[in-house]
Amino acid sequence: MSARESHKTAGFVLRCLNYGESDLIVTFYSSDFGKLKGIAKGAKRSKKRFANVFEPFSLTNIMFTRKSRDMLAFIEACDVIEHYRPIRENLEKTLIASYFIELADHFNPEGKKNEKVFELLRSFLALLQEEKASEAAVRFFELRLLKLAGFEPALEGCISCKAPLTNGNSYYFYAREGGLKCASCARADRCDQSVSAGTVRTLLMGKDMDIGKIKMVALGDSLAAESRNILCGFITHVLGREVKSLKIMEQVRRLGAD
Ligand SMILES: [Zn+2]
């Protein structure tokens, strides 16, 4: 039998599945190994070894062994670094954190390390923990994650005629082409909603803005709706699937708006 190598890393819990009578299969986003999947043997029985550590979006210390990179890891021990209690005590924040985690899961293949994704999760969960839940933070997280995953939308100007973004003009976002078109390049028969240059500028500003300043950004209703349309539509298009937590978040938002 070949020896298993032993490792230690920090990781966010992305998902947790029951496996058999007593085991759990847990997927993490870790700082040193990227997305990592492992089995916690006896986790459902051993409260001492794994006391409530496998809750979604918890940040944990993981000790694991595995024979090779492409094999399931054996989680030997795991303890919580940050449980994000203030997030869990608030429904809106919990939904947002779950959405961050689901996106990080969908956009990252297993075994590919990207410390920036780990840092993105850490900084945005800290922001969510400390500040009021905000639509701006959700949109700016989406933009940053898209960029790290290699799907940054082209928002600097029209992707057809290359004319730069001009204040006062309306634009249309083409998810399939990943960018904006000006009103003259957009098809006349299109049914998508237009986007104002102001919305686009806000997104451009938000994608690199210092994290500490995000709490000062409040999106007005139309700006929020336009940004949501662009980014959520684009994410669904890129993934080729619906994002479950986004759907729930939207349902709750509409309930709140009634
Ligand atoms: Zn154009």
Q: Identity (one letter) of the amino acid at 137?
A: A
Please name which of 100, 78, 106 lies closest in space to residue 87, comparing C-alpha atoms: 100
The pTM (predicted TM-score) of the whole model is 0.94
Residue 157 alpha carbon to ligand 1 centre in Å: 8
Per-residue pLDDT, 253: 82
180 C-alpha vs ligand 1 centroid, how far in Å? 8
Q: Which two tokens stand for residue 207?
A: 């994608």
Same domain, 38 and 113: no
Residues 217 and 253 in one domain: yes
Residue 210 lies in a domain: yes
165, two tokens:
């973004």
Give the count of domains, the chain: 2
- Ligand 1 center–CA 196 separation, angstroms: 14
Are 77 and 148 part of one and the same domain? Answer: no
Q: What's the gap in Å between 73 CA and the centre of ligand 1?
A: 50
Nearest CA to 72 out of 62, 82, 64, 61 is that of 64
CA distance 89 to 94: 8
Cα–ligand 1 centroid distance for 152 (angstroms): 19
- Is 31 a domain residue? yes
**For 163, which DSSP code?**
P
Rounded distance from Cα 67 to ligand 1 centre (Å): 54
Answer yes or no: do 99 and 176 share one domain: yes
CA–CA dist 193, 75 (Å, integer): 48
Ligand 1 geometric centre to CA of 168 (Å): 15
Residues 203 and 131 in one domain: yes
- Residues 215, 160 share a domain: yes
192 in Cβ contact with 169 (< 8 Å):
no
- The CATH number of whichever domain residue 242 belongs to comes to 1.20.1440.120
What domain range is 225 assigned to?
A: 95-257
Rounded average pLDDT per 10-residue block, the chain, 258 residues: 83 95 95 96 82 91 91 93 96 96 95 95 97 95 97 96 95 93 81 86 96 94 94 96 92 80
Q: Are 71 and 108 found together in one domain?
A: no
Does 157 map to a domain?
yes
Has residue 89 been placed in a domain? Answer: no
* Pick from 175, 210, 201: nearest CA to 190: 175
CATH number at residue 72: 2.40.50.140
100 and 191 both lie in a single domain: yes
Kindly give the distance from the C-alpha atom of residue 160 to the centroid of ligand 1, in angstroms, as a whole number: 5
Task: Say what the pLDDT of residue 39 is.
Answer: 96
